[in-house]
Structure 1
Amino acid sequence: MNSVLMHGLTQLLLAVVLLPAATADDAPVDPATLTPLGGNWYVSQTQPAVYYFRDAGRFVDLFTWHQKDSNNDGIANVRLQHDQNFLIIDSQGYPNHPTAIFPNAGNPNSIRVQNFQFRLPLKPQRNDQITTLPMGPIGMALNGVVFFNPFEQGGMNAVAGYSEVWLDSCCGHPQQTGVYHYHKYPVCVKSPFRDDGRQHSPIIGFAFDGFPIYGPWESSGVQAKELQGEQALDVCNGHSDSERGYHYHVTPGRFPYVLGGYRGVLEMSNIRARGTLRIGSIEDNASGESRLPRVIQSVVPGSAVPGQKHRLVITLDPTQAVRQPLPDGVPEWVQIGPFEALSIEREGNRLLVDVEIAADAPVGVLFDCHLEFAGAGVRRVYKANDVFRVTLEEQK
């Protein structure tokens, strides 16, 4: 599928992506209607089968919302089955949220449909030693898109420093074979539960050792990366509590961002680059300043409340467009986190954009902003990291 058609489809999907997600409180699940599979996994006794994960006492349908057909080829994004030991997930690895148009000036690759099959242990087991993250997929988000480790192809930090790569506002990009993937917290991945910073974050995916990956929040107003003492995250970005057992958290703005290693026994059938496996956690090697042009200087206001439309002012600095001059006219597309601009105006070096912040938008984490200019040749794209957040209080 070409990138322009993909962009059109994701624009249509935006209306779906931003609808409030169902919660367990909307439709309580009777455990008597479920068959236990092992560990925290259950399956409905009716057809079509629905798989539930017991998360802190709640039976959560993690995948049904993501079993849509994002690329309109008649195949669901993710399909589930199981055997005695594994939840088996077939995934097209295709994002069900807005993305940049690829290829572009920041990335020469195109997003392609994949044919992944991953096996998650129903009863994940702690390992005596930490397994180093391989190159390629290291886990999977609930929408079937894969996580990569924090490093780019040359082995340097892909998220920060001189080696920072161009990620779109949903924190992903495709590599050479078209695998769209995340190197950091994917703010556009939805969950059956809101993540408003008032309680423990919901699950957003799974590592290939079978342990769940949660969003950034540990409790009301406290991110997991801020914990100290016995509850602090370990080098793998995980810890244990009495309700969830061992689990991982994403750490926005702090290495290793998603995973720092596998604390559990790794299911080897999921690993494509087995030659890169070692013992031990990974270490941050970011150095220097990012080479990405800082054309986007600011987004004002830098925060907004959910459930409303907001007018934002994006200030541009043409002197930062070092390879080619900043194009005239209005960008074809502006996106901040998962929110695409509804309207775009330009006054000199200022863009006036209107965005609708979903009622269930992730709260308290910083979003990136990117904009795109169409035209002859390679599509021009510009990006600014960590420039906007959703808050529960009006900015004074």
Structure 2
Amino acid sequence: MKNLKISILLFGLIALVYSCGSDDSEEMNNDDDVSEKVYDITPILSKFDNIAAITYSVSGNTVTIQTTNLPNHKSPYWGVGHTMYEAYNGTNPDWRQNPGSIGEQNITFRVPLNPSEAGTKSATPMGPIGVSRNGIVFFNQYAAGGAPLTNEINSFDQYLGHPATTTYHYHIKPKFLTDTFGEDAFLGILSDGFPVYGPVENGQTITNDDLDAYHGHVSPTADFPDGIYHYHITNEDPYLNGNGFFGTPGSVTR
């Protein structure tokens, strides 16, 4: 009888050890099964249709977007005498015009049709990091030399853009687009293929605290009801993008 009790006890211990080992193994396997989410940005490409500044094409997993980078709105940077010239009439009492002007460009973006999260994130460069739905390029949250935008903001026109020499661009909310399409609208895409939306989602103003380190998050949008990773432009630094691209950026040529 004593030997029987010992055998039962040993059997129970072995079963317990095996059970614990099986749980650990199953948990490890579940972690290994986590797959990378891949998206399809086809639904937003039609937003670029009938835009004078833009042409685009799709080949395999690459979307090629070419822009002349000429804004379809007025600005003092068009220069006096141009049909699109309009003197500054914004709300910034410290506004001052920089010495640049709007000039035609030839900028080509090649971005992934099926963007996904990058295993290794990369910083955004100075210069174009994406393109808005009216063909104007996005720049990151830094002024020349990597300085904050604090002083440079004072040269933004009434639609919150300005030129670097002759390359007109947006660093912050493109007011012409949000006035035209709404504060929650699709505004453009960055070079990694992920879309950019305005500062409102589901009727609520988005703040930096609602977003990750790259200034985005995953949620449904009007264009992607099943959800997609996307960036938001907010009203505070870093405005458009945080610590770099969430996905793997394509190429930009000028």
On whether the aligned pair clears a TM of 0.5, the verdict is yes
2:67 corresponds to 1:91: yes
Contact conserved, 1:88 with 1:119, CA < 8 A, in 2? Answer: yes
Work out which of the residue numbers 240, 259, 262 in structure 1 matches 2:241.
259
The aligned runs of 1:171-250 (5 Å cut-off) are 171-176=160-165, 178-189=166-177, 194-195=181-182, 201-220=184-203, 222-225=204-207, 232-241=210-219, 243-250=226-233
State the alpha-carbon separation in 1 of the partners of residues 113 and 100 from structure 2: 35
Instruction: Name the CA shift for 1:128/1:39 in 2 (closer, same or farther; >3 Å).
Output: closer
- 1:192-239: per-residue Cα shift (whole Å, max 9, x none)? x8426xxxx22100010000000111212x11216x5xxx20121101
The aligned runs of 1:51-66 (5 Å cut-off) are 52-53=43-44, 61-65=46-50
- 1:13-44: per-residue Cα shift (whole Å, max 9, x none)? xxxxxxxxxxxxxxxxxxxxxxxxx94344xx
Higher strand proportion (structure 1 or 2): 1
Equivalent residue, structure 1, for 2:159: 170
State the alpha-carbon separation in 1 of the partners of residues 77 and 161 from structure 2: 12
- Relative contact order higher in (CA < 8 Å, ≥ 6 apart): 2
Kindly report the root-mean-square deviation, in angstroms, between the aligned alpha carbons of the 2 structures: 2.5
Contact conserved, 2:56 with 2:66, CA < 8 A, in 1? Answer: yes
Larger Rg: 2
Unmatched tracts of structure 2, length 5 or more:
1-37, 81-95, 221-225
Equivalent residue, structure 2, for 1:125: 116
Aligned residue-pair number = 196
Contact conserved, 1:126 with 1:264, CA < 8 A, in 2? Answer: yes
State the alpha-carbon separation in 1 of the partners of residues 78 and 65 from structure 2: 26
State the alpha-carbon separation in 2 of the partners of residues 241 and 207 from structure 1: 17
Contact conserved, 2:107 with 2:253, CA < 8 A, in 1? Answer: no
The residue type paired with residue 183 of structure 1 is H
State the alpha-carbon separation in 1 of the partners of residues 121 and 69 from structure 2: 27
Higher helix proportion (structure 1 or 2): 2
State the alpha-carbon separation in 1 of the partners of residues 127 and 218 from structure 2: 27
Question: Alignment partner of 2:207: what SS?
Answer: helix
* Sequence identity (%): 33
Shift in Å at residue 271 of structure 1? 6.5
The aligned runs of 1:31-180 (5 Å cut-off) are 39-42=39-42, 52-53=43-44, 61-65=46-50, 67-68=51-52, 77-101=53-77, 106-158=97-149, 160=150, 162=151, 164-176=153-165, 178-180=166-168
The residue type paired with residue 266 of structure 1 is P
Instruction: Name the CA shift for 1:207/1:256 in 2 (closer, same or farther; >3 Å).
Output: same
Unmatched tracts of structure 1, length 5 or more:
1-37, 43-51, 54-59, 69-76, 273-396
TM-score, scaled to structure 2: 0.70
Contact conserved, 1:138 with 1:271, CA < 8 A, in 2? Answer: no
Question: Alignment partner of 1:61: what SS?
Answer: helix
Equivalent residue, structure 1, for 2:5: none
Shift in Å at residue 90 of structure 1? 1.1
State the alpha-carbon separation in 1 of the partners of residues 160 and 237 from structure 2: 15
